[in-house]
Amino acid sequence: MFDIISPFTDYAFMRKALVSCMLLSLGSAPLGVLLMLRRMSLMGEAMSHAVLPGVAVGFVVAGLSVPAMSLGGLVAGVIVAVLVGLVTRHTSLKEDANLASFYLIALALGVILISLKGNTIDLMHLLFGSVLAIDNTALNLVAGVVATTVTVLALAYRPLIIEAFDPIFLQSLGRRNSVYHLLFLILVVLNLVAGFQTMGTLMTVGLMMLPAAAARFWAQRFLSMASVAVGIGILSSIGGLLFSYFINVPSGPAIILVAGGMYILSLLFGRWGSIRARYFPFKHLQS
């Protein structure tokens, strides 16, 4: 019988990892729901690659320093987001094509920058993270980003929802869609950057999108959907960390695999639109 409490009470790094992952769930999962509702589920994936050259510049300049790499990643992510927005608005190419182009350029640039100074182990560390490396600086960064995310989401809730739901309507209200769009993308980048120490940039996207996709099968309103997503994120964090502790596998992928399991369970047995609901519905109601 596994003792699921003692790993966290015995080891400080497990506690830090747990707090960090639970906080990340709180910030990332609602953003993931918004991304999914905008049909931009792959956007997070693309942005996670786009931050790489900035992280690399931080790495080249200051070595494995959390603040330097985070700042670099944030700058690179925002530059890509702004460039994609500008090119989409002023040319006929659609957003997804522009995003794909820019993130690939950024990814190649990032890999080249890292290979100039570091080695493949550094690269792996940046892409997949390491819970053992979470120090107080990294934890503060995560806490700060999550606090910012939750505050901005609360303040810009209505325009963000309207923009996802009916962008033309928001425009007809005389609001500048691009402002909210950019604000939203900055939040996404911030959360990816905050997660790179814990999960790595690639795996942080998983904590953003998988709980959101799973929550789709359990709720029909945005707030409940976001709450379910946060809950699934937190459960996955706990489960994944224990999984990685007992089986001795990397924590990032372990957390994402647990979240993936929840997604598969949800799509099979969820309340709304799941396989169960579609093919084995309860008895129909009176007309």
Partner 1 sequence: MVKDFYCGTSLTSCNSVICLRFSAACCGCGVVVGDLWIGAVGTMITLTNLTAGYDRRPAVHHLSGTFAQGTLTAVVGPNGGGKSTLLKIIAGFLRPLSGSLQSPERQNIAYLPQTCEIDKSFPITVFDTVMLGASRTLGMLRGASPAQREQCLHALEAVGMVAFANRPIGALSSGQLQRVLFARLMLMEADVLLLDEPFSAIDTRTTADLLQLMQAWHKAGKTIITVLHDMHQAAAYFPESLMLAREKIAWGATRDVLCEENLHKARLMAEHWHETAEACAL
| Interface residues toward partner 1, by CB under 8 A | 37, 39, 155-156, 158-159, 161-162, 164-169, 171-174, 219-222, 225
Phi (first) and psi of residue 42, to 5 degrees: -90, -5
Residues in Cβ contact with 124 at an 8 Å cutoff, skipping those fewer than 6 apart: none
Q: How far is the CB of 266 from partner 1 (least distance, A)?
A: 15
| 39 or 117: CB nearest partner 1 | 39
- Cβ 36 to partner 1 shortest distance, Å: 10
Contacts 24+ apart (CB under 8 A), 36-42: 36/209, 36/212, 36/213, 36/216, 37/164, 37/165, 37/222, 38/163, 38/164, 41/209, 41/212, 41/213, 42/96
When the beta carbons of 13 and 222 are compared against partner 1, the nearer one is 222
Between 89 and 158, name the residue whose CB sits nearer to partner 1: 158
C-beta of residue 260 within 8 angstroms of C-beta of residue 253 = no
DSSP state for residue 131 in the 8-state scheme: G
Q: Give me the residue label for tokens 């109601």.
A: 285
Which is closer to partner 1, CB of 62 or CB of 267?
267
Tell me which residue of 253, 201, 213, 262 sits closest to 234, measured CA to CA. 262
**In the complex, minimum distance from the CB of residue 60 to partner 1, in angstroms, rounded to a whole number:** 41
With contact defined as beta carbons under 8 Å apart, do 73 and 192 qualify? yes
Residue 110's CB is within 10 A of a number of other CB atoms, namely: 27
| CB 260 to partner 1: min, Å | 22
CB of residue 225 to partner 1, shortest distance in Å: 6
Q: Which is nearer to partner 1, 6 or 224 (CB)?
A: 224
**Cβ atoms of residues 235 and 243 within 8 Å:** no
Nearer to partner 1, 11 or 165 (CB): 165
Burial class (CB in 10 A: 0-12, 13-18, 19+), 255: buried
Q: Considering the complex, what minimum distance in angstroms separates the CB of residue 218 from partner 1?
A: 11
Q: Which is nearer to partner 1, 38 or 125 (CB)?
A: 38
Closer residue to partner 1, CB minimum distance, 86 or 173: 173
Minimum gap (Å) between residue 261 Cβ and partner 1: 24
CB of 111 to partner 1, least distance (A): 36
List of E strands, 32-163: none
Helix axes 43-50, 95-117, angle to 10 degrees: 30
